[in-house]
Structure 1
Amino acid sequence: MNRPVVVGVDGSTASLVAAEHAARAAVLRSRPLHLVHGYLHPLGYGVPINPYDVGLPAPSEEAQKMLERTAADLVGRCPGLAVEVRQVAGGPGATMVEESRRAELVVVGSRGLGGFAGLLLGSVGTQVAAHAHCPVLVVRPVEEPIPVAGPVLVGLDGSEPAALAVGCAADEAARRGDGLVLVHVQPPDGGRRGADEVTETQVAADAEAAELLAVAAATVRERHPGLAVEGRVLRAAKAEQALVEASRNAALIVVGSRGRGGFAGLLLGSVSQALVQHAHCPVLVAHPVGR
């Protein structure tokens, strides 16, 4: 099945930047690109006076022109790219989650400005990143150009979602021809002054981190023999802050999701949610395709 790369487009700056990223992702994967506009039912948030008169609204001519202009622009930039456009009668978040059932990758934009002041990712992006049935690329920050240099960064902690994220990150790094950086975050050691103050616990933690990174690197190299892989241990009180800071020097950061039912925050986890809200580069949320 030739699963497409799907991106939601509504004419906003964020969605048009997301479409640009989606076109690049489609070219790298040799997949078609689908531009989808999900529009809300006009009675979706109220009770109609006469429920028997309810029907699906017709697609908008203005939206169709916007989609066709976007498609023409992307084909002009990426000759040979196959682009399909369509409008779907439904809310944008629910539409993209449903589209993800048949997609290789879903791309969403972010309206965030960075920092830890509050929630910055739009509700549609949050919904899709948490509930999609395939990997989701969250494009942020919108005001910056597409990163063309820098490694793919992925955090690992030995969990199953992190293992999926590492595999996804390795595949992406191989497609881009960039290096892969495996990151494990440990709590600070309390500012020890010399080697004599190193505790048994710290030595054991360091050994565990080194083994975790070595095993992951070996697995990646077996799958992608020519890929440059580096392991790093970062020390920070909170893993999410360390990874957000590390994202400044990356072209892409990959995170896992917990993956079944429930609320968006619980699905993404605190680290993943912090990154999709505050990272300094695009974030790829790893979901199993067709899960």
Structure 2
Amino acid sequence: MDGAQSESPIVVGVDGSATSYAAVSWAAREAWYHRRRLHIVTALGAPTPYGDGIRLPPSYFTDRDRAVHAHLTEATAIARTALTDPDATEVTTEVLEGSARPVLIEVSKSARMMVLGSRGLTRLTAVLAGSVTTALATHAHCPVVVIRGQAGQTSGTGAVVVGIDGSENSRSALVVAFEEAALRGTDIVAIHTWSPFALSTAFDDQLDLPWDQVEVAERAVLSESLAGSQERYPETAVSPMVVRGQAADELREQSADMELLVVGSHGRGGFAGMLLGSTSTTLLHTATCPLMIVRT
């Protein structure tokens, strides 16, 4: 096994849910693309889930340990099935001590990327991401990929879609998107959106702005953002799109059947210190293909 696979692994978190196992399947293929080790982790949770002073049944810790190890065993089998050549990718597992959010954020410091499933909270709000997934998307030290439902079962032939707005975060997302497309041998769809409503508000509600000129300026933003990356990846075909509309809606629609959607953690509309912007937050809850959130 190549020693490089032991460095900065692709980390996937499992908790026994169907979406976490879908995340394992996607992460296994991602590890193969990157020639990295796949590291499957699960967290034991808080030592006393019912609070101090509450006596737990004697079998609690035994049952808990049995369950988490069963999750890892199932996840490892799923990973092996997802890999065309299981021997080419090292798979390791680990049980993490403590609550999922802090321990996974700590693990992200040494990960190439984190992959998580997103679970619905209620029947009515089934689009909402779980609290652990949201925390990782906000605070992780590496790119985070969120798999909703069975979105991990991609065809392997779709393009990589990336949202561009000219911000530092979107430039970081673009770099990662080109790398992902090159590894897969697929194309890039680069989407830049702009909203007349937002622009008119910025200009004191002057609704009769020269929209044609505005669109030309927005196309220039996209072209400028793409220039360097296209030179570095000349074999990756790029389809640039400038769309008038709300960013989250357009990105979700255009990426519905694609291989991967890549966005920055927040864009040019965010305030200083913002960790997760409105577009990435909305997509975290609603994107139907694998979503990667990249921080600068």
What TM-score comes out, normalization by structure 2 length?
A: 0.81
Q: Deviations over 1:121-148 (max 9, x none)?
A: 1111101111100000101233672242
C-alpha contact 2:43 2:95 (8 A) present in aligned 1: yes
Q: Which residue of 1 aligns with 2:33?
A: 28
Alignment partners' CA distance in 1, 2:67 and 2:209: 67
Distance 1:34 1:207 in 2: 46
Q: Is the 8 A contact 2:165 2:222 kept in 1?
A: no
SS of 1:108's partner is strand
Does residue 184 of structure 1 match 2:189?
A: no
**8 A Cα contact 1:141 1:281, kept in partner:** no
Q: CA deviation at 1:73?
A: 3.7
Partner residue of 2:79?
74
Offset, 1:232: 0.4
Residue 267 of structure 1 aligns to a residue whose secondary structure is coil
* 1:141/1:282 contact within 8 Å kept: no
User: Aligned-pair RMSD on alpha carbons?
Assistant: 2.8
> C-alpha deviations, 1:239-267, integer Å up to 9, x for none?
222222222242211111149xxxxxx52
CA drift of 1:112 comes to: 4.1
1:262 aligned residue: none
SS in 2 for 1:268: coil
List gaps (5 residues or longer) in structure 1.
Answer: 51-56, 190-198, 260-265
Identify if the C-alpha distance between structure 1 residues 155 and 77 changes in structure 2 by more than 3 Å, giving closer, same or farther.
closer
**Partners of 1:217 and 1:230 within 8 A in 2:** no
Distance 1:231 1:112, change over 3 A: farther
Is residue 2:109 matched to residue 1:109? Answer: no
**Structure 1 runs of 4+ off > 4 angstroms?**
116-119
Aligned to 1:121: 129
Contact 2:20–2:117 (8 Å) recurs in 1: yes
Question: Number of residue pairs matched?
Answer: 266
Cα distance in structure 2, aligned partners of 1:179 and 1:139: 21
Give the corresponding residue for 1:142: 150
Counterpart of 1:63 in structure 2 is: 68
Q: CA deviation at 1:277?
A: 0.7
Match of 1:227 in 2: 236
Contact 2:266 2:280 in 1 (8 A): no
Asked whether the 8 Å contact 1:112–1:277 carries over to 2, the reply is: no
> More displaced, 22-31 or 41-50?
41-50
Partner Cα distance (1:143, 1:176) in 2: 17
Residues 214, 145 of structure 1: alpha-carbon distance in 2 compared, 3 angstrom cutoff: same
Q: Which residue of 2 aligns with 1:97?
A: 105
Aligned: 1:47 with 2:52: yes
Partner letter of residue 210 of structure 1? Answer: R
- When structure 1 is superposed on structure 2, of 25-34 and 243-252 the one drifting more is 243-252
The alignment partner of 2:52 has SS state of coil
Q: Contact 2:159–2:188 (CA<8 Å) still a contact in 1? A: yes
In the superposition, relative to structure 1, how do residues 209 and 200 fare at CA in structure 2: closer, same or farther (>3 Å)?
A: same
Sequence identity, in percent? 36
Offset of 1:210 from its aligned partner?
Answer: 1.7
Match of 1:271 in 2: 279
Question: What is aligned with 1:54?
Answer: none
User: Match for 1:71: what amino acid?
Assistant: T
Which deviates more, 155-164 or 101-110? 155-164
Q: Is the 8 A contact 1:252 1:282 kept in 2?
A: yes
Deviates more, 1:139-148 or 1:157-166: 139-148
The aligned residue for residue 193 of structure 1 is: none
Paired amino acid for 2:74:
R
SS of residue paired to 1:137:
strand
Could you tell me which residue of structure 2 aligns to residue 208 of structure 1? 217
Does 2:23 align with 1:14? Answer: no
